Amino acid sequence: MEVDAKQFLKDGFLILRQAVAPERLDHMRLLVELMVDKSKAMSVTERTADDPLGGAWYAGGQPRVEVPVVVDEDTAEFVDFCLEENTMGVSRKILQESRCVLSGIQVMCSPIIDFGHTDWHRDSSAITQAPLFGLTQDLLENKTGYVQWNIALYDDDVFWLLPGSHARATTESERRQLLLDPTAALPDGMCVDLKAGDAVVYCNLSMHWGSYYSSKMRRTIHLSYRTFASDIFPYSYQVGWGNDLAFARHLSTAARSHFEQAAQWYAEERDVIEGTLRGIVDNDPAAFRDKLAELHRGEKHRMVTVVLLCRMMDEICRLKAEETAVSPKTSGVSPRVGYLFSDLSARFTMEETDIMRHRFAPLNELLQAGYDKVQEHYTNVYAELRPDAEPPSFESRPLRHFYTNMPENFGIDEFIASWN
């Protein structure tokens, strides 16, 4: 399949026709429906008193099949499709990196009732990742490190996006509309009208919209791919499958080999992350710089990775304070988040964690000050737009990217100088 990586970088997306060949559609639909049936059955079994009849599957507007949870010998062929030339091969061409892995495997489904409109958002957060402008500069300079896919098995016009928005901040007029009504269509928004078998591959920093979730049959494959040991350290660095690879026992030899290699790269990356953080703890600038350059090989915009490490440190400190690893079944945190941070947390003592917190404190204070300033400004704007309404949440999906700029005059050298 022909792929224009430059066009992807310009627009933030590519539409690929017949990513699933017409003669293959019925079989792919069957594989997905078998996994839907298992997901529904699990939802009933795991239903809590707070869930509706049928369990969590019926609670929202877009139930999702978590493929690693339900895949078995009968449906393993579905994962093979996700590793073929029309999917993995295309992703490699866009990412321009051979160390590319399938990091997320889901199917987005329709609810049984018309759920209604959703909100415009970017899959980024200044609170848990880095300010948007840092992420976009890093991406444009150092290649894309992460892409997402929607592959429609039935005609699907639910997904919208703003072309080019992955490379720019949200405009003032867009921000005001998001404050007033994040569920309304934005000017210049584009409906990605996929026919059965078509796909869109996109940068999830783009402004996008689920538009209207209705009961119309929807079975849309949702995939993500990320790189390792590239010029960029991906802002979406986690993987959506269990680290023990229990699900892989059902897969073909080739697919199982892919995930085993992916798990090895993921483990090696965690070692590099530990080494980078340990350089900070040990007050060893040379070690810190060396490991940071291994994590983010591009020379420009490494400070974005430092901010991502700062966010990791926040989570590690939280875990150390609780003196327990995250338990997905009790905390609501996904297994991949629990494993990544509990693994990193176990590598540092409480004393080392306190040192790390102290040395990240000046950067954290600058980030918080920038966030507070933006929040104060748009709280005032919102008060003008809706004088009688309660202030909005700037951690909500439509607003969490409003804090855009990286801290001024604070790069790697200044971060190291701030340790003492």
Q: For the purposes of burial, counting CB atoms within 10 Å of the CB of 286, is it exposed (0-12), middle (13-18) or buried (19 or more)?
A: exposed
pLDDT of residue 120: 97
Residue 248 gets which letter from DSSP?
A: G
What's the pLDDT tens digit per position in 32-74?
Answer: 999 999 999 999 999 998 888 999 999 889 999 999 999 999 9
187 and 286 inside one domain:
no
What's the pLDDT tens digit per position in 167-195?
Answer: 999 999 999 999 999 999 999 999 999 99
Closest to 272 measured CA to CA, from 246, 237, 323, 248: 237
C-alpha distances out from residue 393 to 210, 333, 375, 381, Å: 20, 21, 9, 13
Q: Quickly tell me which residue has 């988040």 as its tokens.
A: 337
Domain boundary among 236, 252, 267: 267
259 and 358 inside one domain:
no
Domain boundary among 210, 238, 267: 267
The CATH number of residue 160's host domain is 2.60.120.620
> In the chain, what are the helix, strand and coil shares in percent, each to the nearest 5?
50, 10, 40
411 and 362 inside one domain:
yes
d(C-alpha 160, C-alpha 189), whole Å: 7
pLDDT of residue 328: 43
Average pLDDT over every residue of 223-240: 95
Average pLDDT over every residue of 139-144: 92
Average pLDDT over every residue of 137-163: 96
pLDDT band at 333 (very low <50, low <70, confident <90, very high): very low
Residue 88 gets which letter from DSSP?
A: I
Tokens read off for 222: 């949702």
161 and 67 inside one domain:
yes
248 and 369 inside one domain:
no
Q: For the purposes of burial, counting CB atoms within 10 Å of the CB of 264, is it exposed (0-12), middle (13-18) or buried (19 or more)?
A: exposed
Note the helical H segments in 296-395.
Answer: 302-322, 328-331, 335-346, 350-385
Tokens read off for 165: 């928005």
Domain boundary among 244, 267, 290: 267
Neighbours of 376 (CB within 10 A): 11
72 and 161 inside one domain:
yes
Q: Does position 335 have pLDDT exceeding 90, yes or no?
A: no
213 and 347 inside one domain:
no
260 and 308 inside one domain:
no
b/e map 156-187, b = 16+ CB within 10 Å? bebbbbbeebbbbbbeeebbebbbeebeeebe
pLDDT of residue 130: 96
104 and 239 inside one domain:
yes
b/e map 13-49, b = 16+ CB within 10 Å? bbebeebbeeeebeebbebbbbbbebbbebbeeebee
Given a contact cutoff of 8 angstroms between Cβ atoms, the answer to whether 221 and 93 are in contact is no
How many domains are there within the chain? 2
pLDDT band at 334 (very low <50, low <70, confident <90, very high): very low
256 and 313 inside one domain:
no
Task: Residue 258: give the domain boundaries.
Answer: 5-267
φ, ψ dihedrals at 329, nearest 5°: -75, -25
134 and 256 inside one domain:
yes
pLDDT of residue 327: 47
Calculate the average pLDDT of the chain. 93
Name which of 131-135, 207-211, 239-243, 257-261 the model is least confident about. Answer: 239-243
Residue 204 gets which letter from DSSP?
A: T
pLDDT band at 338 (very low <50, low <70, confident <90, very high): low
184 and 47 inside one domain:
yes
φ, ψ dihedrals at 397, nearest 5°: -55, -45
pTM of the predicted model over 0.85: yes
What's the pLDDT tens digit per position in 100-122?
Answer: 999 999 999 999 999 999 999 99
